A and B are shown apart, each in its own frame.
With several copies, the nearest count.
Chain A
Amino acid sequence: MQLFECDGKRLLKEWGIAVPKGLLLTSADGLPDALSQLGGKAVLKIQVPTGKRGKAGGIKLISNVGEGNDFFKQWAGKSHGGYEVESVLAEEPLAISKEFYMSVVLNAREGNFFFIFSAEGGVDIEETSRQHPDKVLKVKLDPAACIKEFHFRNILLEHGYSGSLLLSLSNAAANLYKGFVAANALLAEINPLVMLEDGTVMAADAKIEIDDSAKFRLSSKNFLEVKADELEREAKDIGVTYIKLDEGNVAIIASGAGLSMNTMDLIYEAGMKPANFLETGGGITSELVRRSVHLVLKNESARAVIVNLYGGVNSLLEAAKGIVAGVQELKRPVPLVVKALGNQQEECFALLEEHNIPVIKSYRTEDAVAYIQRQLEVAK
C-alpha cells in the first residue's frame, strides 16, 4: 500500500524527521485559514499515491485565496495517474538551498535492505543510477545487525560530508531506517530531502509503501486509501484477488497466481482476450465460488468463463457446489467450463455432470481454453 504524501509525512514526523508545516484540504473552503496559518503563501499539492504531479500542474505556489480557488477548480473531478484527486495538501513554501535524495528500500533478491542516497535530489533516481552510478550511494543493511546512527555517519563521511550537514543527514538516515523497519515498509523515500537556507534539513516529499500483509501491526494509524471501485470492493468482501483486464471476452476464475497467469497466456494464444482474472486463494468455500461466478460476469464484455482449479488446501466438492449455485442464478447465461483436479475431484465431477456443467478432467488448461473457443465460435 502506497501512502499518500500527507500520510507519509505524518509518519516521517513521528520518526523524528522534519517536514514542512502543512494542512490537508478537501475543498477550497479551507484556503483562507490555511494561508493565514502558513504565513500568507502556500504550496498546493494534489494528493494521489503516484508521482509526476509537478509536470501535470498538480503542484502550485499560491499567494492568495483566488489562486487557490483556481487550483481547486482546475482539479475538481479530475484524476492523475488513474487516481481521482480528492484532497490537496497546503504547505509552507520552503527556502531551499540544496536538494538530496534519500531512501531505504527492500532488497528482495537478498532479503535485506538498501540505503540509497544522492547529492542530486528531486530527480528520477533510477535514471541517475543508470547514467551516473557514481552519483548514487547504495549500501546494503543487514537486517540482523543493530544499525545505529554512527553507521550512517560513517557511510556519509566516506561520501564526503562533514560538519553539521553530516549530522543532519545521518540523523535523518538513522530515523528513516528505524521508522522503515518499525512500520514494516517496503520503501521509504524522501525525494527531495532538502537543506533550507537556514541549514535545516527537511523532507519536501514522502513516498512510503507499507506491506499490505503487515497492516495488522499499523491498525491504529488512519491512512488515506484510494477509493476502490465497486468490483474491487466486492472482491475484497468475498476474499479473492480480482484484476480487471482490458476489454476481453473470457472471464477467468483460477486457483493460484501462476495458474491464473498461465490461463491468461493461453487465452491470448488462442486469439481470445481475458476480461479479468479472479484468483481464489487458498480457502475455497462454495459461497466464495458462487459469488466469484457472479463477480467475473459483471464485466460487460465477458462472454464466457473458465474455472481452473486445483484442490490442494481446497475441497473441489465445495467448489462444485458453488459453481452449480452460481450458474443456476445467472441472469445472463454464458458458456462456462470447469477444469479441476485434486482433493475430492470425483465428487466434484459427479455433481457438475449432474447439472450439465462441462468438465475437463485433465491437467490441460489448453483443453478448457479450446472448449470455450469452440463455444464462442458457435455462439457467433
Chain B
Amino acid sequence: MSILLTKQTRAIVQGITGRIGAIQARWMLECGTNIVGGVTPGGGGKEVHGVPVYDSVAEAVKKQQANASVLFVPAAYARDAVLEAIDAGIGLIVCVPEHIPVHDTITIRRSAQQKGAWLIGPNTPGVLTPGVGKMGIMPANLFKPGRIGLISRSGTLCYEVAGYINEGGYGQSTVIGIGGDMVRGSDVQNVLSEFDQDTETDMVVVVGEVGGVMEEQVAECLKHMHKPVITYIAGQTAPAGKKMGHAGAIIQGNEGTVECKQNALREAGALVATRIADIPELIGRAYK
C-alpha cells in the first residue's frame, strides 16, 4: 500500500492533447502509471500515446471507471476543469498548473471538501508512488521505492531531498507535492494522517519553506501522529517582505520565518533538520 496514488488508481489526464499534457502523459505512462484516458473538450475520439481521449470527465469515468485525474490546463481554465472532475465523482485530483487565482483555488478547495475528494495542488509537481506511477511532473528516476513518506511545498527541492534519502539507503512510499500557493486544495494534516495510517510508511519527511502556515499546521497536528515526522525548511536567509518565487513564500513582519517554524515544530516533537544533508541521519535516529 501507499497513499492516494495506489495500484487501484485509474487515472485520466485533463488537457492531454496540449503540448505539455501530451509530453507528461508519455512520461507518466513510461514509469508505469495506469493512465486509462485523457480529456480534452472537443477532442473526443482521438488517441494520445495509445490513450483514448474523451470530451468530458464524466465520459471517461463512465467508459473507463477513472477515479483520479491530473490536470495540465491553462490557469484560467483550471477552476472549471477541477469542478468538472469533482462533479464527475473523481476522488483524487492533481492540479499541476501555477498562477491560478487564489479565489479560484478557494472555490475548488471548498467544492472538493464538500464532495470528499482529494485535491492536490494547485502549483504542485504532483503525486508519485515509486514502482506504481506518478500523476504530475516529478522525474520518476529521482525516486526509489521505500518506506519514507515525503511531503513538500516545492517540487525541485523535494527532488533534492529524495536524493539524500536515497543516498542514505532509504526510499519513498509516496511523494506528495502539496503545492506552492498561499491556499492549497488539501491540508497537510490530512495528508499526514493518511501516511500515519499507511502500513507501508514508517515515518514522514516534510519539506517546508518560509512564509505561510503549513509548517505551523504540521506542528499542531503532531500530537495526533503515531509515526515520526522529520522537517526541513528552506529560506533561512530569505529577506523579509519579498515573494521568494512561490506565491506562498513571503515573510510578513515576524511571521513565517524559518526560525518561528522550526521552534514550533521542535516544541511539538518533530525532528528538525537545519540542512538537507542532515535528513538521512535523522531518519536513522528515528528508526532506532
**Chain A positions near chain B (C-beta within 8 angstroms):** 106, 108-109, 111-112, 126, 142-144, 146, 148-151, 153-154, 157, 162-164, 166-167, 170, 181, 184, 186, 211-214, 216-217, 241, 243, 245-246, 254-262, 264-265, 268-269, 274, 277, 279, 281-282, 309-313, 341-343, 362-366
Contacts and interface: CB of A to CB of B under 8 A. Distances in A.
B172 to A, nearest CB: 14
Interface of B: 20, 24, 27, 41-45, 55-59, 75-76, 80, 83-84, 87, 98-107, 109-111, 114, 125, 137-139, 141-142, 152-160, 162-164, 180, 182-184, 207, 209-210, 212-213, 217, 234-239, 242-249, 253, 275-277
B229 to A, nearest CB: 18
Contacts of A313: 20, 24, 137
Given A106-B183, A166-B42, A217-B101, A256 B155 contact: yes
B139 A184 contact: no
Given A112-B106, A163-B45, A312 B58 contact: no
A166 B55 contact: yes
A257 B56 contact: no
Given A257-B249, A262-B234, A364-B277, 16 more contacts: A111-B106, A111-B109, A126-B253, A148-B80, A150-B84, A157-B58, A163-B55, A167-B42, A258-B209, A261-B154, A261-B244, A282-B137, A310-B159, A310-B160, A341-B163, A363-B162
A36 B58 CA distance: 48
Given A143-B110, A213-B102, A265 B182 contact: no
Which one of B103, B248, B253 has the greatest number of beta carbons of chain A within 10 Å?
B103
Contacts of B41: 150, 153, 166-167, 170
A1 to B, nearest CB: 11
Contacts of A213: 75, 99-102, 247
A144 B153 contact: no
Contact of A106 (B43, B111, B153, B182): B182
Given A154-B58, A258-B154, A265 B242 contact: no
B83 A256 contact: no
B23 to A, nearest CB: 8
